[in-house]
Structure 1
Amino acid sequence: MSRALNGLILLALLLLVALPLLFIVLQALFPHFSAGSWRDAFSTLPTLLNDPQLLSMGLGTLKIGGGVALCSLLLGLPLGAVRGLFRLPGAALWDLLFLIPFLTPPYIAALSWTLALQRNGYIEQLTGINFASLLFSSSGMVLVMTLNIFPVVYFAVSRSLMASGQRLAWVARVHGASAWRGFWHITLPLTLPALAGGVLLAFTLAIEEYGVPAALGAQAKLTLMTVGIETKLADWPIDLPGAALLSLMLSVVALAAWLLQRKLTGSSDVTAVSGKPVTQELTHAGRWQIVLLLPFVLTLLLTVVLPLGAMALSGLLNTLSGGLQLNNLTLRHFGALFSQQGDALAAFSTSIGLALGAALLTGALGFLIAWRVSEGKTRLLAMMDGLALLPAAMPGVVVGVGLILLWNRGFWPVSPYNTLGILLLSYSCLLLPWPVRYVSSALRQLAPTLEPAARVHGASRLQALRLIVLPLVAPSLLAAMMMVFAVASRELVTSLLLAPAGTQTVAIFIWRQFEQGSVGQGMAMATLTLLASLSLMLAATALMQRQRR
């Protein structure tokens, strides 16, 4: 049974992860590989290196990634430190509120900020101040992406401090150290691995992002590598070798950051379900409580209230030119979503179906991978684990390119290309690490004798798995599947690259509405999509809290 199961898992990982990445490498090295020829090896490299845009794309990507990582550090470190060290009113609520920007699709956040800060936007109508020059610049792109990504640093710092506690710092204070010296020399060094991991993760997420650079980059006169890859595939003549080589370069940068992050954080993960924490001994803020809460309120205003308010308001305005007037409010954009003549219902049902399929597929495969990997440390299992987590370091645009190169071939008797199946494969590839991480973390909390004890008492291996292991990790598995569902339902870049002709998903529908000038309907769809994602996140959070208890 073990050999057969390992074979099926490796076959699935081969189709989902290994082959798409292999075909990117082959296409990058052999420019005529798509035509079945191995000639002119490496000839694409000089062409790409001589491209005058390559240097600006590469430096721009690193500049934006580094800027987002630095700003996420400056914002997430103090907020996370206060959350992890002090007893704040509504602490759990602040955690939940700071999850909202991370769950908001970055392209929707960028479009919302555009409506708020553009010339004659909502902010200018209310205050008379024009922020368009700030938004449509590299600084504006860094700001928008930071407000979406900073929670990874916030949660890394706060959870690390809450797990390690303050006992050592208090011992230092007993021996004469000041509170600041105890924090600087003891508490902060204990959090450095998690902090560094969070900052590197912010960098990786920033260089992989497509929606914000696509929405703001043109007016900011800045093209990043993700947009450059999509352009090579979308504009005629299509440049497959160039797209593959550019994808390979971006993947190397993302993979290096990801591997460094994993080395610094060990086997931990800021999103994983941890074991039982030590007793949390948080300090009372006392008279400083209002001062400590002020940055939380300001951050909430910038990350949640303003962008989501602009999004919801845009869906309620009859026309943007009508401005912020009571007589310009309407529900017609929301009503149009449910009109039989519109494409919204079809896009919504397509996204829901694909997201459900991705959740089920990644849930089943992720559970089996985590279970098998937890049983030993052989090379085969290590390879299985590595392949399963590799998509965490693969930008969505790279996955899209790999699947195009893999499945758009004449030698396949049956191919999912140009069908909804290719979207299901792309979502499953990108989001497979979620169930693997969650279930692996849950399995580490189980006593290693449970399954052998069931076997001793006559249960088969399958019965032990079904009746003992699966029920115990079910809350974590369901939480991960809900996260997969929420993210897959609004995935943008692979949907734009791989969607069959005439097929729309929620993300494509919103994007196309903006391109066509139907901002109100696009934002109405974005509002409903975000509400659905938040509902699923609440359910996932409740399941994780239930497991911890």
Structure 2
Amino acid sequence: MKTLDAGLPAASARPSPAPRVSLPLMALLLVLGLLVALPIGFVVLQAVFPAVNTGSFAQPFSAFGAALGNEKTLPLLMNTLRFGLVVSVASVLIGVPLGALRGLFRVPLARLWDLLFLAPFLIPPYLAALGWMLFLQPHGYLEGMAGFDLGHFLFSFNGVVAAMTLNVFPVVYFSVSRALAAVGLRLTDVARIFGAGPWRSVLRITLPLVAPSIAASALLTFIMAIEEFGIPAALGHRAGVELLVTSIEQRFSDWPIDLSGASVLSLLLATLALAAFWLQHRLLARRGFEAHSGKPAAATPRELGAWRWPVLLAFALVAGTATLMPLFAIMATAFTRTLSGGLNIGNLTLGHFRALWVDGDGVTALSTSLSLATLTALITGALGLLSAWTIVKTRMRGRALLDALTLMPHALPGVVVGVGLILTWNQSFWPVTPYNTWGILLLAYSCLLLPYPVRYAGAALRQIGDNLEAAARVHGATAAQAMRRIVLPLTAPALVSSMLIVFAIASRELVNSLLLAPSGVQTVSIYIWQQFEQGSVGDGMAMGVVTVLTSGTMLALGSYWSRRFGDAP
């Protein structure tokens, strides 16, 4: 019998939809329904029935007419579209040339530029915006060093676009550079041998090969631009730039509170993001070009020759503006007594860091953020692993719904999730509610960041053969034992890496913290935001330095873990 069983690996390895597994699936669907679907449902419900919060279903759809008929709504929508499109185009104009140079040629200090272009993902966008403000505004660091300022540019539509572009263009850069590094110039060389000119070779060979990557990354920058709250909130108010995301937040924070109007605008913003997200996936699914014939061929980078120094200057200029400039402003402000005192030894101090520990507010905010980030990482890690295992390793009905629920937060703007949680849990019929407690922040962070562990764990699970679990079950192991002794150890590198990423992002999240934090509860992002508004800029930037170091440490540990113990997606 043992020989017969060993000769039928396909039959023994095939997952069976055992009836007892359906109960965990139902529990997962229930949890994700409460975490993801219910908030989105309440946004739709509030938009359709404006008085639903009072228990009335009167005047359905009247909020749509009021909001869409408002003279400010169309300009808000068009401004958001224009903002996203201009940021996307600008990101392509910067990211594609730099990515092409990085992928095809031997760029001096290439690893350094990669590291510096990763830094915008490390620095929270709102913190980067405050850094640019300190550097470029009147009486800022630029004026102190060069005698002029660029405040008039920064506090304008073009300035807000530039700040957002410098934050998101690395998405295009890394996408294009990795795609071209895999392809190389060998196909272009073949075209040149058969008589094609340099431009024709690029247009007919190179460009079609990377066009899907360019289009997909450009759409992703569009989504990131219209969803981001920190940069428009920090710079847009002074510049007179109003977008959907900031208007939604204002309708909840400014009196009179407009629940229905905020819900309608949230649906508009979510529709834009979901449409772009769907189009991005369609483009990636229709990639129709093959760059490899099956024969091994090394894609060796070419030498730049006479273009070496101009290329080096271009990389240095972009890296200096996107990364070094805001980092310099943040650190200089954190270590100087006063902005007016300038950059000199007599003005240096550690007092802002001491203030974080002395006044109590800084320690409390840091402790709250670290605690919430830790709990978020643990919750999303557990839910992510169970969801990914159900999606990848079983054939149960309901897997598609579970997959959709875990993917949905990735395509939804953070402000929409926050609005949904407010509308969901600020209802009188709930016997117990997390609203007005730190628990509502935990729900928000978990909802937004759940896709990371699901996708990382799912990719790891696809590399694990079904025979391992089947063999464990044949030898008497229960499903829980197989999960604990086989699945969990093999997926641990990818799962831990994703949990560290979740920790880093949750510890600095802004828009939901501003929307949902109850009175008396401060997070790191709220502390920085309030210190800047109150004029205690040095204390806020000191906390910003702590935030960047914390995020950087977590991301570095995640990268080390994935390289040391296994491959992460």
TM-score bucket of the superposed structures, by smaller chain: over 0.9
Partner in structure 1 of residue 451 of structure 2: 433
What letter corresponds to residue 349 of structure 1 in structure 2? S
Matched with 1:273 is none
| CA distance in 2 between partners of 1:347 and 1:451 (Å) | 44
Residue 364 of structure 2, aligned match among 346, 361, 370: 346
Distance change in 2, residues 1:259/1:366 (3 Å) = same
Tell me which moved more, 159-168 or 360-369.
159-168
How much has 1:95 moved relative to structure 2? 2.3
Q: 1:96 to 1:58 in 2, by over 3 A?
A: same
Equivalent in the alignment of 2:235? 216
Which of residues 7, 19, 22 is equivalent to 2:41? 22
- 1:72-113 CA deviation, whole Å, 9 max, x = no partner? 111111121222222345434432321111221111111111
2:16 alignment counterpart: none
Tell me, yes or no, if the aligned pair for 1:86 and 1:283 is still in contact at 8 Å: yes
Q: For 1:61 and 1:351, locate their aligned partners in 2 and report how far apart those are by CA, in whole Å.
A: 30
Unaligned runs of 5+ in 1: 269-277
- Structure index of larger Rg: 2
1-structure distance, mates of 2:395, 2:73:
42
Q: Which moved more, 1:15-24 or 1:90-99?
A: 90-99
1:129 counterpart residue number: 148
Q: Distance in 1 between matches of 2:186 and 2:493?
A: 32
Structure 2 match to 1:318: 337
Give the distance between the partners of 1:171 and 1:184, measured in 2 at CA.
Answer: 14
**Deviates further, 190-199 or 344-353:** 190-199
Alpha-carbon distance in 2 for matches of 1:291, 1:383: 52
Q: CA RMSD in A?
A: 2.0
Question: Is 1:298 paired with 2:317?
Answer: yes
Cα 1:473/1:91, change in 2 over 3 Å: farther
Structure 1 position 280, deviation (Å): 5.4
Equivalent residues of 1:44, 1:241 under 8 A apart: yes
Q: Which amino acid aligns with 2:462?
A: R
**Structure 2 match to 1:309:** 328
Distance in 2 between the 1:344 and 1:135 partners? Answer: 29
**Residue range with higher mean Cα deviation, 231-240 or 292-301:** 292-301
In structure 2, the residue corresponding to 1:321 is in which secondary structure? coil
Whether the 8 Å CA contact 2:103–2:301 is kept in 1: the answer is no
The one-letter code matched in structure 2 to 1:438 is: Y
Residue 394 (1) aligns with residue 412 (2): yes
Letter in 1 for 2:360: G
TM-score of the superposition, structure 1-length normalised? 0.94
1:105 corresponds to 2:124: yes
Q: May I ask how many residue pairs the two structures share in their alignment?
A: 539
Residue of structure 2 equivalent to 1:228: 247
Farther off after superposition, 518-527 or 174-183: 174-183
- Give, in whole Å, the separation in 1 of the partners of 2:209 and 2:483: 37
Q: Which residue of 2 aligns with 1:274?
A: none
- 1:61-76 equivalences in 2 (<5 Å): 61-76=80-95
- Aligned to 1:500, the other structure's residue is in SS state coil
Tell me by how many angstroms 1:368 deviates: 1.3
Map of 1:266 onto structure 2? 285
Q: CA deviation at 1:44?
A: 1.2
- Residue 328 of structure 1 corresponds to 347
| Displacement of 1:286 | 4.8
Within 1, Cα distance between the matches of 2:278 and 2:131? Answer: 33
In structure 2, C-alpha distance between the alignment counterparts of 1:516 and 1:349, rounded to whole Å? 22
The structure-2 alpha-carbon separation of the partners of 1:138 and 1:260, relative to structure 1 and needing over 3 Å to count, comes to: same
- Which residue number in structure 2 is paired with residue 358 of structure 1? 376
Percent of aligned pairs sharing the same letter: 53
Residue type of the alignment partner of 2:153: L
Q: Is there any run of 5+ residues in structure 2 with no aligned partner, and where?
A: 1-19, 288-295
Whether the aligned pair in 2 keeps the contact of 1:162 and 1:280 (CA below 8 Å) is no
Specify whether residues 417 and 199 from structure 1 end up closer, same or farther in structure 2 by C-alpha distance, changes over 3 A only. same
Given candidates 536, 545, 558, the residue that maps to 1:540 is 558
Compared with structure 1, are the counterparts of its residues 376 and 161 closer, same or farther at alpha carbon in structure 2 (3 Å cutoff)?
Answer: farther
Contact 1:165–1:279 (8 Å) recurs in 2: no
The amino acid across from 2:535 in the alignment is G
- How far off its partner does 1:15 sit? 0.9
* TM-score using structure 2 length: 0.91
How many angstroms apart in 2 are the aligned matches of 1:159 and 1:461? 40
Counterpart of 1:84? Answer: 103
Matches of 1:548 and 1:92, distance apart in 2: 20
Cα distance in 1 for partners of 2:114, 2:298 equals 16
CA contact under 8 A between 1:84 and 1:282: conserved in structure 2?
no
Matched, 1:487 2:494: no
Which residue does the alignment assign to 1:451? 469
- What CA deviation, in whole Å up to 9, does each residue of 1:383-434 have, x standing for no partner? 1111101111111111110000000111111111111110000001111111
Kindly provide the amino acid, as one letter, of the partner of residue 60 in structure 1: N
SS where residue 40 of structure 1 aligns? Answer: coil
Q: Could you tell me how far 1:162 is from its partner in structure 2?
A: 3.1
SS at structure 1 position matched to 2:393: coil
CA contact (8 A) 1:118 1:135 kept: yes
